[in-house]
Chain A
Amino acid sequence: MSVTPPEPGLIDDPELGLPGPTATWHPGEAGLDEPTLINDDRVED
């Protein structure tokens, strides 16, 4: 996946590197789905 280099001011604190893999998006991700539960009263909190 190519990402356009950010312009100054759009860098979200690039010095804060986090531990973890550098994942690469792959087309298989497009077939996945995710439920929207943000307003679902059945999911209590």
Chain B
Amino acid sequence: MSNPHEAVHLDGTEINWLHPPKVTRLVRWSKKTWTGKRVSGSFRHICHLNRLNNLSLRRFGRELEIIQPAWNIGVKASAGTHDMDSVVDLYVPGIDWWEQQRFFRANGLGCWYRHPPSFGNHIHGFTLPPVEGVVRSDDFAMAGFRVGVFVPQQLADYYAHAYGLAGSGHTPGADPSWFPRRIEDTIFDLDQYVARRAAKVLAARKH
């Protein structure tokens, strides 16, 4: 299995998988957006994107295209969603939109396919935070992730099978498209991801 990209430090140096950064530490991805801009985010978010990219290669034979990354400050139209961590607009070129929505939802990206007439075609999503307590909307904050002002409600809407939009877009059960049976079971496990890479480092040292 090829692994064309990886999380790296902001200055481009490699991650030490035996002593990884904190989950909330800002890092960047070696892959850039479709317009060549930097993709930055928390260590957990970027590792999740990289794992999704590898799974997309395996599933569809194609890499993700990042349209708008997290920490994309200054875009007025996306204020409240993309101005801090964990949120991304992306797609897999050439793949049916509903199929890729299923793929992303099954693999820990809380997301919706946004489409015309309200939007240009894209998948809007966020790396699901670890579950803490019974209220979903505070899970980002409980795990130490800073997100845009609208994102906690979107997280709660995702678990409620709502659209994550204004007005009736918050209505539970309104989104009839596919959701995982247990959304909690799709949450990305960063410790496991790091452990796989640490094991490879140690194995390489033995040879």
Contacts and interface: CB of A to CB of B under 8 A. Distances in A.
Interface of A: 1, 3-7, 9-18, 20-23, 25, 27, 29-30, 32-39, 41, 43-45
Interface string B67-88: 1100000010111111000000
Contact of A16 (B103, B105, B115, B122): B122
A21 B178 CA distance: 19
Interface stretch (B13-21, B22-30, B38-46, B163-171): B163-171
14 contacts: A3-B118, A3-B163, A4-B169, A6-B119, A6-B166, A10-B80, A10-B164, A12-B82, A12-B114, A12-B119, A13-B120, A16-B89, A21-B97, A23-B96
Contact of B97 (A20, A36, A38): A20
A21 to B, nearest CB: 8
Secondary structure at the A interface, as helix, strand, loop or mixed, is loop
Contacts of A45: 1, 3, 50-51, 54-55, 58, 196
A8 to B, nearest CB: 8
A29 B141 CA distance: 34
A1 to B, nearest CB: 8
Interface string B95-129: 01110001101111000011110111110100000
Nearest to B193: A39
Interface of B: 1, 3, 48, 50-52, 54-55, 58, 67-68, 75, 77-82, 89, 91, 96-98, 102-103, 105-108, 113-116, 118-122, 124, 150, 163-169, 176-178, 180, 185-186, 188-189, 192-193, 196
Contacts of A32: 102, 178
Contact of A36 (B50, B120, B180): B180
Nearest to B119: A14
Contacts of B79: 9
Contacts of A23: 96-98, 113, 115
Contact of B98 (A13, A29, A43): A29
